[in-house]
Amino acid sequence: MSPVLNYDKSKPLKTKVLMVCLGNICRSPLAEGILKSKVDPDKVFVDSAGTGGYHIGEKPDSRSIDVAQIHGINISDQRCRKFSSADFEDFDLIYVMDKSNRANILSLANSESGAKKVKLLLEVINDSPQEVPDPYYGGKDGFENVYQMIDQACTQIGDNLNKQE
C-alpha cells in the first residue's frame, strides 16, 4: 500500500478518492480540499497528486491557498506528490482535471479495472468532456473560476458519496 494513505486503518473507509492535475499545486489541491469539506472523513479519504514531479513536497500555489481560504477551506497543510501506478490499487475513484493528464495516467494503468477508475472531474456535472483549465499563468479571477467549477463537481461527488451507507 502507498505511504500516502495515512489514515486510521482501524476505521474502515468506504471510498478513497484521488484528484489529479499536472503539478499538484493549483487544481488538484483545490479539488482535494473542496471534496474533503463535503464528505465524512471517517467514510471517505481524499488525496491529490500531479502527473509531473515538478513540485514534490511543496505547498500548493499561494493563489490556490488564498482562493480556498476565501471560501473557508484550508489547504495550506497539503504537500505535492507525484501520481504513481500504485494509486490505481490504492484508490477507488481517480478524477483528473484535463484530457492530457488523463492520457498520462491511463498510460500507467496496468489493468482495465484501474483504467476504469479514471474520469474527467467535470464529467460528473456535464456528460461532455469539459476540462478544468489550468489557472497557473492567469490572475486571481482564473483561480476563482476554477474554484467554482471544481466546487460544483465536488458537490455532486460529495452528494453521491454521502448517500452510500
**Residues 74-87: b if buried by 16+ CB within 10 A, e if exposed:** ebeebebbbbeeeb
Task: Specify whether the CB–CB gap between 110 and 88 falls below 8 A.
Answer: yes
Q: Is 42 a catalytic residue?
A: no
DSSP 80-140: --B--TTHHHH-SEEEESSHHHHHHHHTT--SHHHHTTEEEGGGGT-SS---PPP-TTS-H
Among candidate residues 21, 26, 80, 154, the one labeled active-site is 21
Among candidate residues 26, 27, 61, 63, the one labeled active-site is 27
Q: Is 21 a catalytic residue?
A: yes
Q: Is 81 a catalytic residue?
A: no
Among candidate residues 81, 134, 151, 154, the one labeled active-site is 134
Q: Which three cell numbers stand for residue 55?
A: 513540485
Q: Which residues are catalytic?
A: 21, 27, 134
